Amino acid sequence: EASEAEAAAPPVETAEVVDNSVLLAEILEAQDPDNKARFGDRNPAETIEFFGLEPGMTIAEALPGGGWYSKILLPYLGDEGKLIGIDYSIDMWSKFGAFADAAFLESKETWAETWVGDAEGWRAGTEADLAAFAFGSRDPALDGTVDAVLMVRAMHHLNRFNSDEQDYMAEALADVHALLKPGGTLGIVQHRAPEGNDDAWANGDNGYVKQSAVIEWVEAAGFELVDQSEVNANAKDQPTTDDFVWRLPPTLGTSNEDPELRAEMEAIGETDRMTLKFRKI
């Protein structure tokens, strides 16, 4: 029978878990100050650990943008890993209007090459493989090779442009499902709409979607929900149907000339976000 001291002793962490946590902490400490300023809202260490991401994995990241997460993931994956960037399709970008003019859409023709070139500067001395493509144009050679796919704040646009003629959400999730190894992980972090708000308001146009809807979309695509976390929750964000995501940091799109409103939005912080872990079945 175990002694009281033995029973009270904390579980011993394996060397691998300790080493991964130390490595991740070092990578986070080396990030640009502007990126580090977002850690309190985006919780990258806790999120990466929740999704079970480890050095040596092959990971795909949807809508990597300027590389906020990629700059962490690429050095973390190390010499044996691989990072794949996935952009929205050019056809979908054409639906955005405003900034998505002819020059912007032309730049998207070479997005994969440009993103890989930019990512070369994010290695921090490591030699992970790099690749990129847009949804709807994946290389079948990648199918079944990916350990985890991350979709961080990427779901709302996929849904907002859906139509009877084009189901961007289903197409994207089909690509994700094909990429993943059997049992592979799909990790989703997404602006979360209150379940009681109007469904039409929560279709993605305002940046928010309902957690119940995301689970429904992903399960319909051949995944099962295995875990969920409140690590990226923000109880201060209680949007009404008059609100949209971009009123809050870092965009602060409604308060550029209103210091009082800006302070109010900064006090809320970034959006309330769901954090969902799915498994390919």
DSSP codes of every residue in 126-163: ---EEEEEETT---GGGTT-EEEEEEES-HHHHHHT--
pTM of the model: 0.92
Q: Tell me the C-alpha distance between 253 and 17, whole Å.
A: 40
- Give the residue-averaged pLDDT of 133-150: 97
pLDDT at site 17: 61
Residue 241's alpha-carbon distances to 155, 209, 255, in angstroms, are: 19, 12, 18
Q: What are phi and psi of 181, to 5 degrees?
A: -65, 160
Look up residue 156 and give its two tokens: 């709302």
pLDDT in tens, 222-271: 999 999 999 999 999 999 999 999 999 999 999 999 999 999 999 999 99
pLDDT confidence bin for 131, thresholds 50/70/90:
very high
Q: Judging by DSSP bridges, how do beta strands 223-229 and 82-87 pair with one another?
A: unpaired
Q: How would residue 15 be classed by pLDDT, with cut points 50, 70 and 90?
A: low
The encoded tokens of residue 186 equal 């799909």
pLDDT, residue 13, reads 54
Report the distance separating Cα 275 and Cα 263, nearest Å: 27
d(CA 217, CA 169): 8
Query: Which pair of structure tokens corresponds to residue 86?
Result: 């996935």
The contacts of residue 70 (CB under 8 Å, 6+ apart) are 61, 64, 83, 85, 119, 122
Tokens of residue 80, six digits: 């044996």
| Model pLDDT for residues 194-205, shown as the tens digit of each residue | 999 999 999 999
Q: Say how far apart CA 31 and CA 121 lie, in whole Å.
A: 13
| Distance between start and end Cα atoms, the chain | 42
Is the alpha carbon torsion for 173, 178, 180, 182 positive or negative? positive
